[in-house]
Amino acid sequence: MFNLPDLGKLPGAKIGNRNRATPSKSTIELNSGLAAIASALNQSKDVNIIPVNIYSLFNRASELGFTNTTQSCRSRLDVM
């Protein structure tokens, strides 16, 4: 089961002076709910849910070699 990256950190979250705290808070709440559901379902001997922490992976993008994690690729294409 994949959780979500921090939606408040996505480039589109800052368009039009949006409040980035709102999608970040919603992401944390959703991911917490998903983790609780996965944990509850994994209590069954017939279920094996493997969590994939996209939230953490996204926050570590610079460690993985990505150098620009603040601009959307679309804005770069619009300039061309």
What pLDDT shows up at residue 25? 97
| pLDDT score, position 74 | 62
Q: Is 54 in contact with 31 (CB distance < 8 Å)?
A: no
Convert the pLDDT of each residue in 18-72 to its tens digit.
898 999 999 999 999 999 999 999 998 898 999 999 999 988 887 888 887 767 6
Q: pTM for the whole thing? A: 0.75
